[in-house]
Structure 1
Amino acid sequence: MQNNHINYIEFQASDLIAIKRFYQFSFNWSFTDYGPEYIAFSESGLDGGFFKSDSIVKNGALVILYHENLAQVQDKIIEAGGQISKDIFSFPGGRRFHFLDPAGNELAVWSNT
C-alpha cells in the first residue's frame, strides 16, 4: 500500500444479495460477507465493499472499469439486471459506456481498442 493512492472504495446498496450476484456475473468479482449489512469485494483491480443502505444513491464517484470487449460486457450487464445510462461513445484514447447497477450506482467501462 502507498500513501495518497486509492486503496478501497465503498458503494451503498439496498439489496446486498442482488448486488453481489450482479458483480459476480458481470465481472467475476469475489466477495466476503461481513454480516447482514456489509460485503467486501476483491478481484476487481481495487478492493472495496458495499454497505446496506436504503438511501437513494446521489452523486457518487464515477468508478471506471476496463474491459477489452465493450459490447460483450455491456450485454452481460444488461442480462444481469443493469441498465445502460450512456451508450458506447468514443473519447481521446478509447471508448466507454456508463451503466447503473441494480442499486442505482453509476459506473463506466472503457477500452483502449
Structure 2
Amino acid sequence: MESNMQNNHINYIELAASDLEAVKQFYSHAFGWKFTDYGPEYTAFNESGLDGGFYKSAAPVVNGALVVLYHENLEEIQKTVVAHGGKIAKAIFSFPGGRRFHFTDPAGNELAVWSDK
C-alpha cells in the first residue's frame, strides 16, 4: 500500500474468485498485473492502477467487488458511519498488515474501511 494514504479515499479493492490460480494467470497474462500470495485463500495484485486483491470464495460471484477506504482511526470513522445511517456488516478485525471493518451504506452496498494504525 502507498505511504501517502489519505483518510476517506478509496485505497484498495477486493474481488471474489473461486480459482485464485486461474484468475492470477488471466490478469497477469492479459494485463500484466503482479501478484503476491498471502496464504492459500488470498492474493494481492498491483501494477493495475489501483492495488487490490482476490479472496477465495466458493459462492457464485454476484457482486464480487469490495471497495476499501482508508482511515487512520477505525473506531472514530466506524462511529461516524453508524451515525450517518451505515450498518456494520463485520466488526473491526485484524489481518496481516492492519485492521478493518465492513459496513453497508443506505443503499445496501458493502464497503470496508482499513487502517495500518
Larger radius of gyration: 2
Q: Secondary structure at the match of 1:23?
A: helix
Question: Which contiguous aligned blocks of 4+ residues in structure 1 show a shift greater than 4 angstroms?
Answer: none
Counterpart selection for 1:56 from 49, 55, 60? 60
Report what 2:13 is aligned to.
9
* Corresponding letter in the other structure for 2:41: E
> For structure 1, which runs of at least 5 residues remain unmatched after alignment?
64-113
1:5 positional shift: 1.1
Q: Secondary structure at the match of 1:8?
A: strand
- Structure 1: distance between partners of 2:64 and 2:38: 23
- Structure 2: distance between partners of 1:35 and 1:24: 19
Note the 1:51-90 alignment, pairs <5 A.
Answer: 51-61=55-65
Q: Once the two structures are aligned, what percentage of the paired residues are identical? A: 73
User: How many aligned positions are there?
Assistant: 63
| 8 A Cα contact 2:43 2:54, kept in partner | yes
Counterpart selection for 1:39 from 39, 43, 52? 43
RMSD: 1.9
Report what 1:28 is aligned to.
32
**TM-score, with structure 1 as normaliser:** 0.52
- Structure 2: distance between partners of 1:7 and 1:50: 15
> For structure 2, which runs of at least 5 residues remain unmatched after alignment?
68-117
- Structure 2: distance between partners of 1:59 and 1:43: 23
* Corresponding letter in the other structure for 1:53: S
Q: Residues 40 and 25 from structure 1, CA distance in 2 versus in 1: closer, same or farther, beyond 3 angstroms?
A: same
- Structure 2: distance between partners of 1:30 and 1:57: 22
- Structure 2: distance between partners of 1:58 and 1:11: 11
- Structure 2: distance between partners of 1:37 and 1:59: 18
